[in-house]
Structure 1
Amino acid sequence: MTVRTIAVVTAGLSQPSSTRLLADRLADATRAALADEVTVEVIELRDFALDVTNNMIAGFPSPRLREAIDTVTRADGLIAVTPVFTASYSGLFKSFFDVLDKEALEGKPVLLAATGGTERHSLVLDFALRPLFAYLRANPVATGVYAASSDWGGALQERVERAAKELAALVNAMPEAKPDDEFTSVPFAQLLAGN
């Protein structure tokens, strides 16, 4: 049986967070929709805020941020969930994806989701998140999931399940990820030495 990995990037700042709650629902629905065995790895971006900032300034990830980046790039599929601030994704969410290599998500199936206080911000999925992931050459599923404060009922779960099935279909259509030993990092000193 194939073991698939789904990485979940959630940018909620509070704890508990409605963004994390939505991410968990999407992960559970995706796990149920996949025929294969599934490992879900969650990355809470608030735990990496300083690491992301330091990476942007210095140009190098800390070991723990490197591990988070590797989790996302090696995963068979990605669930990316952000709260909406000022009609767009959060700065922390954007900064994390800014530190990825621009080709790291090429062709990767991605489920896009966002949370916000009102329904007025639901277009963030199409006018902010889709362009970001198009630039990264990822492969977003057709159904994005937006959850306003008043949305936590039956209709939300229907959208969650539809989007999860779309992600599962794309993940199942992908070839299996390469073993970890094919994704070794080259130490910076070795790069400088030209070896």
Structure 2
Amino acid sequence: MKQRHLVVVSAGLSQPSSTRLLADQLSAAAVRAAAQLGVTLDVQVIELRDLAHDITDHMLTGFAKPALKQAQDSVAAADALITVTPVFTASYSGLYKSFFDVLEKDTLADKPVLLAATAGTARHSLVLEHALRPLFAYLRATVIPTAVFAASDDWGANSVEGPLRARIDRAAAELAREIEHREPATVTDPFALTTSFEDLMKNL
């Protein structure tokens, strides 16, 4: 079995939240889909609510505190991401956007990302296309075709096993296929020497 690392970024503000519930269902479906392809997914969840103060401090000072730095490093080392945001004022939340603002340049370049959002009404479902997809296109992530939106009505007993379940399973299968055919993610140390000491001496 191949071993890969999946990071789930949840921007829900309440505890519990429908955002985290959707994140958990998506990650569980991705684990099942990946297992069918011979891939074991190690899942790590990052709750942005717990990092809110650190994110703000980073934006003001340019320095990441240990918890935020660990989250940034986890995203950089991930083989794939699932990101879920609540919808505020017809777009992603400020906390969600701020987290991706403080990632290092090119962190998400060519990284598979599954996009998802939650809101009180289905009228906000287009946020996936007019806000989230352009954001991750700018970050040069590889966004899988199916995004998942869940309104309050989708959490009814019949809905969870109906249309929402179908969207979750389809998106998870697409993400699993994207992970399966890729090599494990690698992180380049910006301070690592790319030239040996002997070669440096030759140029003196």
The normalised TM-score by structure 2 is 0.87
- 1:3 corresponds in structure 2 to 3
Structure 2 residue 163 is the aligned partner of structure 1 residue 155: yes
Partner-residue secondary structure (3-state), 1:60:
coil
- 1:109 corresponds in structure 2 to 112
Counterpart residue identity of residue 112, structure 2: P
Alignment counterpart, residue 168 of structure 1, candidates 148, 157, 176: 176
Stretches of structure 1 that go unaligned for 5 or more consecutive residues are 187-195
Distance 1:30 1:104 in 2: 22
- 1:192 corresponds in structure 2 to none
- 2:148 corresponds in structure 1 to 145
Counterpart residue identity of residue 165, structure 1: A
Structure 2 residue 106 is the aligned partner of structure 1 residue 98: no
Distance 2:75 2:144 in 1: 17
For the aligned residue pairs, the C-alpha RMSD in angstroms reads 1.1
Offset, 1:176: 1.5
Q: Which has the larger radius of gyration?
A: 2
- 2:30 corresponds in structure 1 to 30
Stretches of structure 2 that go unaligned for 5 or more consecutive residues are 192-204
Distance 1:177 1:105 in 2: 11
Structure 2 residue 119 is the aligned partner of structure 1 residue 78: no
Q: Deviations over 1:17-52 (max 9, x none)?
A: 000000000000000011311100000000000000
Distance 2:58 2:190 in 1: 16
Q: Deviations over 1:129-183 (max 9, x none)?
A: 00110010001110000000001211101000000000111111211223xxx65
Offset, 1:73: 1.1
- 1:14 corresponds in structure 2 to 14
- Paired-residue identity, %: 59
- 1:193 corresponds in structure 2 to none
Q: 1:111 to 1:121 in 2, by over 3 A?
A: same
